[in-house]
Amino acid sequence: MWRSPEPRYDVASAIAQGGRDYQEDAITTDFPFGMDSGVAVLADGMGGHAAGDVASKIVVTEVYSELKFQSANFADFERDIPAFMRKAAKGANSCVRDHVRANPGCQGMGATLVSVVLVENRMYWMSIGDSPLYLLRDGKLCQLNEDHSLAPQIDFMVEQGLISAEAAKNHPDRNCLTSVILGGKVARADCPMEPFELKLGDVVVVSSDGLQYLEEPKIRKILHKYRRRKAAEIAGYLLEALDELADPDQDNISFSVIKLNHMKPVVRKIVAKPVGLIETYSAPATRVAALPDVGGVAIDDDTDPAGSEPMADPDEEEAARARAEIRARMEAEIRAELEAEAAARAAAVISVEPGPDPEVEPAEPAADADTRSEPEPDPEEDEVLPLAASGGARS
pLDDT digits (tens, 9 = 90+) for 376-391: 544 444 443 343 333 4
What is the reported pLDDT for 289?
A: 73
3-state secondary structure of 391: strand
Looking at the fold, whether 163 and 43 belong to one and the same domain comes out as yes
Among 178, 196, 171, 67, smallest CA distance to 112 is for 178
Look up the CATH number of the domain holding residue 194.
3.60.40.10
The model carries a pTM of 0.72
The reply to whether 337 falls in a domain is yes
The reply to whether 275 falls in a domain is no
Looking at the fold, whether 227 and 91 belong to one and the same domain comes out as yes
Looking at the fold, whether 315 and 220 belong to one and the same domain comes out as no
- Higher-confidence residue: 203 or 314? 203
Among 203, 268, 198, smallest CA distance to 230 is for 203
Digit-coded pLDDT (tens) for 164-187: 888 888 888 888 999 999 999 999
Cβ-count burial of 145 within 10 angstroms (0-12 exposed, 13-18 middle, 19+ buried)? Answer: buried
Looking at the fold, whether 238 and 334 belong to one and the same domain comes out as no
What is the reported pLDDT for 175?
A: 84
3-state secondary structure of 381: helix
Looking at the fold, whether 225 and 344 belong to one and the same domain comes out as no
Looking at the fold, whether 247 and 292 belong to one and the same domain comes out as no
H/E run at residue 259: strand 253-260
Low-confidence winner among 81-95, 107-121, 151-165, 357-371 (lowest mean pLDDT): 357-371
- Higher-confidence residue: 50 or 263? 263
Low-confidence winner among 26-30, 86-90, 238-242, 356-360 (lowest mean pLDDT): 356-360
What is the reported pLDDT for 279?
A: 66
The reply to whether 267 falls in a domain is no
Residue 242 has pLDDT above 50, yes or no: yes
The reply to whether 278 falls in a domain is no
What is the reported pLDDT for 296?
A: 58
The reply to whether 173 falls in a domain is yes
Digit-coded pLDDT (tens) for 315-374: 677 777 777 887 788 788 888 888 888 888 777 766 655 555 444 455 455 444 444 444
The reply to whether 274 falls in a domain is no
Looking at the fold, whether 236 and 152 belong to one and the same domain comes out as yes
Q: How many domains does the chain have?
A: 2
Alpha carbon 225 to chain centroid, angstroms:
34
Whole-Å CA distances, 59 to 114, 255, 367, 394: 10, 16, 70, 29
Residue-range definition of the domain harbouring residue 294: 287-391
Average pLDDT, the chain: 83
Residue type, 87: K
Give yes or no for a contact between 66 and 74, defined as CB atoms under 8 angstroms apart.
no
The reply to whether 279 falls in a domain is no
Looking at the fold, whether 98 and 200 belong to one and the same domain comes out as yes
